[in-house]
Amino acid sequence: MADNGNGNNNGGNNNNNGNGNANTNTPTSSTTTRLIIPASAPAGEIVFTKPLPTVTSYYKVAQGNLITFGWNMSYILATPTHLTVSAACSGGNTYPVGPTDGIIAGTATQVVWDPYSYQMNNPNTPLPQAVCNLMICDERGFGAVRRAGYLAPNNALQFALYTPQAYTPLASGWKCTICNGAMSTATHPAAISLLVTILICLLSGFHLLRTTNNR
């Protein structure tokens, strides 16, 4: 009976040791993904598709007048976490472009901007009537250096903003600011009467001379 007990105990010890060893020696698996970009790969770039960068587009800052900027991205191996879109205008000020303060998805290929809404919501920093450059960069910022596979900052697209003047009726004192004094004088009733009188005198004199010569 004692021998059987020892045998059972030893068996129990063996089982415990076996279980302990099995639990201790079980390997844990983990995978780490690392992006490897060849040094010879070109830097990522943006090519604007709307509007075309070959000409300067003029946009009116008015209610309901939305502006769409579109582009394609090439040679991107490291997908940006987000893009920052802004307008750098003459005068030194920079303005966020888009409905989310200029921060959009890293895979976005366009942004729709409502400059009128921005104007209304930011009276202390109004948009200028000036030429601007559209600036796009990834999360590294616009000062990031060119790097293989990563998006290079771009400010190649140029556009202009202008604000139309408010309508002023004639009864409220509207005056033509581009009309010169000579044009105003020429359209005056007295000036027209004088011109007609001179024309009649010239025609009468010409007729009198012609009649005298025919005699």
Read off the pLDDT of residues 2-27 as tens digits, 9 standing for 90 and up.
444 444 444 444 444 444 444 545 55
Torsion angle of C-alpha atoms 205, 207, 212, 213, degrees rounded to 10:
110
Distance CA 136, CA 87 (A): 9
Nearest to 104 by CA among 126, 123, 81: 81
163, pLDDT greater than 60 = yes
189, pLDDT greater than 60 = yes
Kindly tell me the burial class for residue 86, based on how many C-beta atoms sit within 10 Å of its own C-beta (0-12, 13-18, 19 or more).
buried
Contacts of 173 (CB under 8 A, 6+ apart): none
- Averaged over 37-44, what is the pLDDT? 94
Torsion angle of C-alpha atoms 94, 99, 105, 110, degrees rounded to 10:
-80
What is residue 200's DSSP assignment? H
The SS3 of residue 166 is: coil
Nearest to 68 by CA among 105, 107, 119, 108: 108
Q: Which of the two residues, 179 and 195, has the higher pLDDT score?
A: 195
pLDDT at residue 27 in the model: 54
User: pLDDT category, 30, cuts 50, 70, 90?
Assistant: low
Contacts of 42 (CB under 8 A, 6+ apart): 75, 148
pLDDT at residue 156 in the model: 94
Neighbours of 87 (CB within 10 A): 26
Percent of the chain with pLDDT over 90: 56
pLDDT at residue 12 in the model: 45
pLDDT at residue 195 in the model: 79
pLDDT at residue 91 in the model: 85
Instruction: Report pTM.
Output: 0.65
82, pLDDT greater than 90 = yes
pLDDT at residue 177 in the model: 65
28, pLDDT greater than 70 = no
Q: Which of the two residues, 116 and 35, has the higher pLDDT score?
A: 116
For 84-116, how does the pLDDT look when each residue is reduced to its tens digit (9 = 90+)? 999 999 988 999 999 999 999 999 999 999 999
